[in-house]
Homo-oligomer: A and B are copies of this chain.
Amino acid sequence: MGTDPTSVAAVQLAPEMGDVPGNRQRALDAVGAAAHAGAQVVVLPELATTGYCFRNADEARALAEPLDGPTIAALHESAAEHDVVVAAGLAVLEADGTLRNSAVLVDADGLRTTYHKVHLWAREPEFFTPGDAPPTVVDTRHGRLGLLVCYDLEFPEWVRRLALDGAELVCAPVNWPDPGRPAGERPLEVVTAQVAAATNRVFLAVADRVGEERGTSWVGGSVIAGPEGYPLALSPLDGRTAVLLADCDLAEARDKAVGPLNDRFVDRRPHLYGFPGE
């Protein structure tokens, strides 16, 4: 990787509920466009091929795909063609019939890791079984990457764990339903992502979605935050699809220093927090 920055894209899509082939094609088109713009890592939204607002578990099951299904195969082909690493959120049907809200990391070598969302939001437990394991940090040719999904970001313990495990760039597919906010305020979801990055001195690329779906609208707050916590790229919050791009020098995320005398990790007092074995 050297000291060259990694070009990271967060792709804000507008999936159509239930149109898996169409959504897959839109995702592939976006990966191609981002790669054409120079991206080496491309992050797609949560549940990018299915949509989010399932009526019931049967509908979710009918739309989900196995990990050897056509979406992963197509992402692999696209990743190889463009030499990019793709992080995408998908509804995954496991061999034993378990349904998962997952994120996958795919590069030219194929599927590198799958992470099952641990913190489920709203009606998701009706459709999905939560994960029981932390995301695996993966060394890719474009950096040490880790995955989280949406509501996971609101649990700082979980982001911390991934950062302590060595992730330099956290790729976070999300679907942020819009709860509204006071006038003039940046969405709390975006601000939470900023602070997650700063607290751990990691880069964090969040790909949100847009497009009204069965009465739900979305923040559309895709953001790429740097280790200082400020956005390197931020959605204009206009409800439209977008490709955000930022150059991320991932070496910065290996240095946890803040100021000349402090360090985000060294300054922790884990025996006081209750963490064992640290």
Contacts and interface: CB of A to CB of B under 8 A. Distances in A.
Interface of A: 118-123, 130, 132-134, 151, 154-158, 160-161, 179, 181-182, 185-186, 188, 191-192, 194-195, 198-199, 228-231, 259-262, 264, 267-270, 272-278
Contacts of A278: 274
Given A120-B267, A133-B272, A157-B157, 18 more contacts: A119-B269, A122-B262, A130-B269, A151-B262, A156-B160, A157-B270, A158-B273, A185-B230, A188-B194, A188-B195, A188-B229, A191-B191, A191-B195, A192-B198, A192-B199, A192-B229, A274-B275, A275-B275
Given A191-B191, A274-B275, A274-B276, A156 B122 contact: no
List the 8 closest A-B pairs by CB distance, nearest first: A156-B156, A157-B273, A195-B195, A188-B229, A274-B275, A122-B261, A276-B276, A182-B230
Contact of A186 (B120, B186, B199): B186
A129 to B, nearest CB: 13
A18 B85 CA distance: 56
B132 A272 contact: yes
24 contacts: A119-B267, A120-B267, A121-B261, A121-B262, A122-B260, A122-B261, A133-B272, A134-B272, A151-B267, A155-B267, A156-B156, A156-B157, A157-B160, A157-B268, A160-B273, A179-B259, A185-B230, A188-B194, A188-B228, A188-B229, A191-B194, A191-B195, A192-B229, A276-B276
Contacts of A277: 274
A160 B270 CA distance: 13
The complex is assembled from copies of this chain, and their number is: 2
Interface of A is mostly: loop
A181 B123 CA distance: 39
Nearest to A198: B188
Contacts of A130: 269
